[in-house]
Amino acid sequence: MEHRDDDFEARVEDGGRRGFLGVSALGLAGGILGVGIPLQMTFTRALAQAGALEGKDGLELLNDRPVNAQTPAHLLDDAITPNNRHFIRNNGLVPTDTAAEGWTLAVDGLVDTPMEMTIDDLRGNFEVVTMALLLECGGNGRAFFDPPASGNQWTYGAVACSEWTGVRLRDVLEAAGVQDGAIYTGHHGADQHLSGDPDLEPLSRGIPIEKARTDNVLIAFEMNGEPLHPMNGAPLRLVVPGWPGSCSQKWLTRIEVLDHVHDGTKMEAPSYQVPAYPVAPGTDVPLEDFRIIKEMPLKSLITHPQDGADVGTEFEVRGHAWAGDRTIARMEVSTDYGESWQEAELDDPVNDGAWQNWRATASVPQPGYYEVWARATDSEGVMQPHAIRWNPKGYLNNSFHKVAVQAGER
Ligand SMILES: Nc1nc2c(c(=O)[nH]1)N[C@H]1C(S)=C(S)[C@@H](COP(=O)(O)O)O[C@H]1N2
Ligand SMILES: [Mo]
């Protein structure tokens, strides 16, 4: 079943790549490639795609059905990711009506009091909090797997840290009264399955109840002080920082409390799962040997200089770093292929669940071509790896980010 679904996704993605060229050709995506509109690409479809990225700026469309778009690393330079720079990862089709008016959220399952609430009810009955929270797709970095893994070919830009306003999932669960024996949540959204079958959900994931009860898991109705962008889950979504982005259900309509691990769409292997043991690249791993990804690994991103930039022989290097449910303790950069490392200045996270900003002044001995590498070490002494172990679906690539620069006169 799942394998067929993946094949379908892969085919759709080929369509997406053609689509991307089409948008460029219309001059709507920044004139990246000088190619004509492929035959498959109708004018209407190109316009539909342009619409998908409305309110976004500089994102690279990886797929148009479903819409998936990543943010180039240098456009993630802001300390807090603005709405127009937040990536988009959809498994299905965006609901046609994303108005806040009349939207309801049901909380049911193993609770004393099943509830159905409007967004005004949420605002009125629970403490409203604003937090900067990191979202990263489990497949960010998939493009670098060899043999390649099917799915969106994310390079670096399926990550963001915006300021989300909402209520704590914990508070809502407490109001509903979670019963003994509850171990997991199941999340449901209003998006439509690609097949058009209304009985199928494109994605329905959940998290262990302990995670659902942490302070920084929000049911959010604002993104950087504005209503959510339609592509980012308007009018209501979950934000589960530090865990695979797929846990953060968009267009949220229902949260179930369960006495078993949720069995919704894409909870099953191999979706958002990795092998229980190390496997050689290309191994066909039996489905029962996969395990659900929980916390995401530590990682960092260089947002300045831009890859390929001209810089002086002394230049600023900066970016962000994050570490699942932990924090980053040390950030280092190298301009000599890792022969020597220089410590960067590292900010604390603005709150639990935010990425950390860092900066360093690099200097190189003479003009020429250099690579800038960055690596993070977390609060438990775990260091970001130079390369990572292959897995069938291309998840959890947290290897060093490297950018190339030309320093001094060419
Ligand atoms: N309802 C719904 N929620 C969803 C998804 C989806 O397809 N449908 N995609 C998930 C995945 S895989 C990721 S990585 C994040 C991405 O959030 P964003 O699109 O706001 O960046 O949303 C998650 N929530
Ligand atoms: Mo994702």
Give the residue from 254, 237, 236 showing the smallest Cα distance to 246. Answer: 237
Distances in Å between the Cα of 204 and the Cα atoms of 50, 133, 182, 265 are: 27, 21, 18, 5
Q: How far is the CA of 387 from the centre of ligand 1 (A)?
A: 26
**Bond prior to 270 in cis (omega within 30° of 0):** yes
Q: Quick one: tokens of 363?
A: 């200097």
Q: What is the pTM of this model?
A: 0.89
Measure the CA–CA gap between 166 and 223, rounded to whole angstroms.
Answer: 9
Give the residue from 74, 85, 58, 72 showing the smallest Cα distance to 304. Answer: 74
What pLDDT is stored for residue 49 in this prediction?
55
Q: How far is the CA of 89 from the centre of ligand 1 (A)?
A: 5
CA diameter of the chain: 70
Task: Report the nearest atom of ligand 1 relative to the CA of 266.
Answer: 12
> Whose C-alpha lies nearest to ligand 1, atom 16?
89
What pLDDT is stored for residue 5 in this prediction?
38
Angle at 179 between CA 177 and CA 182, to 5 degrees: 120
b/e map 277-287, b = 16+ CB within 10 Å: eebeeeeebee
Ligand 1, from 85, 91, 201, 222: best to mutate by most atoms within 8 Å of Cβ?
A: 91
Measure the CA–CA gap between 321 and 268, rounded to whole angstroms.
Answer: 30
pLDDT by residue for the chain (410 residues), tens digit each? 333 333 333 333 333 333 333 333 333 333 333 344 444 444 444 555 557 799 999 999 999 999 999 999 999 999 999 999 999 999 999 999 999 999 999 999 999 999 999 999 999 999 999 999 999 999 999 999 999 999 999 999 999 999 999 999 999 999 999 999 999 999 999 999 999 999 999 999 999 999 999 999 999 999 999 999 999 999 999 999 999 999 999 999 999 999 999 999 999 999 999 999 999 999 999 999 999 999 999 999 999 999 999 999 999 999 999 999 999 999 999 999 999 999 999 999 999 999 999 999 999 999 999 999 999 999 999 999 999 999 999 999 999 999 999 999 77
What pLDDT is stored for residue 30 in this prediction?
33
> Whose C-alpha lies nearest to ligand 1, atom 11?
246
Count how many residues are written for the chain: 410
What pLDDT is stored for residue 42 in this prediction?
47
Provide the 3-class DSSP secondary structure of residue 185: strand
Angle at 398 between CA 397 and CA 404, to 5 degrees: 100
Phi-psi region of 385 (alpha: psi -120 to 50; beta: other; left: phi over 0): beta
Task: Report the nearest atom of ligand 1 relative to the CA of 231.
Answer: 19
Q: How far is the CA of 107 from the centre of ligand 2 (A)?
A: 24
CB 193, CB 202: distance < 8 Å: yes
